[in-house]
Amino acid sequence: MKVAITSTGNSLESTVDPRFGRCAYFAIYDTDSKAIAFIPNPARHVEEGAGPKAVQQVASYEAKKIVSGEFGMKIKPLLDSLKIQMIVVKDPEKKIMDIMEMLNH
Amino acid sequence: MNHSSLSLDRTNVHYMSPRTKRLRKVINPPVIKGFKPYGPDTGKGKAEPVMLHYEEYEALRLCDYDLYNHHAASIFMGVSRPTFTRIYSAARQKIARAFVEGRQIAIEGGKVYFDSDWYHCGSCKCFFNNPEKDQKVGECPLCGDTEKISGVEGDPEKFVPETSVEVGTELCYCPQCGYEQRHQQGIPCKQEVCPSCQSHLTRKTLPGKQPARHRGGRKH
Ligand SMILES: [Zn+2]
Ligand SMILES: [Zn+2]
């Protein structure tokens, strides 16, 4: 299963980006193959509608879960309709590798 | 007494499906974590403590301390009457067992279900929703913990941090599980109960830059 993690950078040492719509990168982690890909978020600089754009993006990677620091109120119904689960991690110190490790429980 | 009313009752019971996720509300969290027996023969067998769940504690408190009848108490807890009766008898049986067998009683968070969209994991401190509404939440989607999952009551806006939250924002903070909500003016944080683990909340101010007046003071 694929999990999207919002990331501040493109390495395993990067921390979880607290913003969903305007995160710098999406780390797409495949929990089966253990492969990870960092994809720059094309929505991060748009004036408006970054959230819905980011949702589209994540959906196109076929991610079933998203890990981020926050989701705007408008995002929840969108993700609900796509049956993508939201996981809110509030610890700003958490690194992508930490999240991967937790997902491998 | 007549047959028609009896069948009507049956129908009602049927509607109260046990699968319905309803909040078994705990209004007042217990002030203690449990009881220990004393006397010459205690502690010999090192018997396992009896685990009394929050919902069982609450059922007992409502009936035998606040003296509500089962009907009223079931409404308070947001469960059907038969469910309430089951929780209440479990509470009494557990306490009787502790008394008779000289066991400790440990009060712990039981299966307090919430009809909510949001859940909290006390193990990794994450929050998550349940997009598969018809499936029960069994484990944390992040760390896989199955023990410390609890529903979060109310508006997720309260605990999902938003970009608009400024440095210096006052929060009510749960020292037990990390739950946070916006502090409401005039309500002491200690009066607020964590919707996730039922602990009392404390005040927390978001760290960051000091308010402008402090910096102004330095300058002169
Ligand atoms: Zn967890
Ligand atoms: Zn708590």
- What's the mean pLDDT in A20-35? 95
Q: Give the residue extent of every domain in chain A.
A: 2-104
- pLDDT surpasses 60 at B132: yes
Enumerate residues with CB within 5 Å of ligand 2 (an ion): B 174, 176-177, 179, 194, 196-197, 199
Task: Determine the distance separating the centroid of ligand 2 and the alpha carbon of B112, expressed in angstroms.
Answer: 13
- Our separate counts of H helices and E strands in chain B read 5, 9
- What's the mean pLDDT in B178-206? 77
pLDDT value of position B169 = 66
Average model confidence (pLDDT) across chain B: 70
Q: Which residue of B has its CA nearest to A73?
A: B157
- Order across the sheet with B202-205: list the strands: B180-182, B170-173, B202-205
Query: For residue B217, what pLDDT band results from cuts at 50, 70 and 90?
Result: very low
Residue B75, judged by CB atoms within 10 A of its CB (0-12, 13-18, 19+), counts as: middle
- Chain B residues touching residue A101 (CB < 8 angstroms): none
- Chain B residues touching residue A73 (CB < 8 angstroms): 157
Threshold 0.90, pTM exceeds: no
- pLDDT surpasses 80 at B130: yes
Pairing of strands B202-205, B170-173: antiparallel
Give the right CATH number for A2-104 from 3.30.70.270, 3.30.365.10, 3.40.50.300, 3.30.420.130.
Answer: 3.30.420.130
- What's the mean pLDDT in B136-148? 87
pLDDT value of position B46 = 62
pLDDT in tens, A28-78: 999 999 999 999 999 888 888 888 999 999 999 999 999 998 887 678 778
Task: Determine the distance separating the centroid of ligand 2 and the alpha carbon of B107, expressed in angstroms.
Answer: 16
